[in-house]
Structure 1
Amino acid sequence: MEQYALDQLKSIAKVSTTCKPLDMTRRERLERWAESLERSPKPFLRTLHETEYQPVADREALRDDNTPISVAFADPILRAAGMENDSYGEAKRFFELSDEQLHGLVCFCHFGEQVSAATLSRRVRKMADYKPGGFFAQLLAFFG
């Protein structure tokens, strides 16, 4: 495979340094995360410690290698859809999860030091399939 500098490529091809993010719904992003977890080369992933006790700024910046969030960030489709890094805060923003939801997926207090990628895949799929219940949610869905 030949490698070229960006200036060399510009002389032989139209090169764009800007890229429009891939448009994915929340459900599609969560489904893709579940698929990434299923394909993870590591069957067990690290958890993050005490996410619920961290000050907000520290919690948002939490990250580690070989976590469920780093598996998502390693997926090129999720990066193309706009996932910017593998921090707790970015996963919360990108997957549109509450602190409570993300805490239930990645915190040490639920699984110990490691969690099965397969277990997390099932949990993420449940979140993707979740439809709020109750009278007002049904009204909102009906009247859109």
Structure 2
Amino acid sequence: MEQRTIAEVAKSAQVFSTAETARAQRRERLERLARLLEEHDGPVQMLTQIEYLRRPERLLLRRDGSPLTIAYKDPVFRAQGLAGDRLGEAMAFFALDDREAHHLFCDCHYRTGVSSQVIAAQVRSVAQRPTIGEVWQKVRGAIGRFLTR
């Protein structure tokens, strides 16, 4: 096997950083979850009072019929490594922080009788939200273009 530096490989192929790949994977998974929720026919149960639980208890939280259960039933997600339908497993798989998980899956952010389409829209909004690094990269690019005029 021939060994080459990243710079040499970059001359003939696109090279992505691990962070870029992780962000792309997170977006793809959240977009798939949004599609699964949109296709879901039936009631969706949200998790209750996530914010009042200590972190160890919160990570073990689950509920039948929740978006997490819908995700875990998907064979593609299971093949990709989704280990279960508990909040902690979903947070790790979808790369969600505590705030994002609370925003997406806690009943305090939705009215009673929330539809899976509404939840899907929230999931999609989190998927499409730019990271601080992406915003900074755009700012640097704009400044660079401005200075090279």
TM-score between both structures, scaled by the size of structure 1: 0.73
Match of 1:89 in 2: 88
State the percentage of identical aligned residues: 37
The correspondence of residues 17-36 of structure 1 with structure 2, limited to 5 A, is: 25-36=25-36
Alignment of 1:1-144 (within 5 A): 25-42=25-42, 44-133=43-132, 137-138=136-137
1:17-64 Cα shifts (integer Å, max 9, x gaps): xxxxxx98111111110111011121x311111101101111000001
Aligned to 2:15: none
RMSD over aligned Cα, in angstroms? 2.5
Higher helix share goes to which structure?
2
Deviation per residue, 1:95-128 (Å, 9 max, x gap): 0011111101111211255421000111111111
Count of paired positions:
119
Higher relative contact order, chain-length normalized (CA < 8 Å, sep 6+): 1
Gaps of 5+ in 2: 1-21, 142-149
Q: What is the rounded CA distance, in whole Å, between the counterparts of 2:75 and 2:106 in structure 1? A: 25
Structure 1 unaligned regions, length at least 5: 1-22
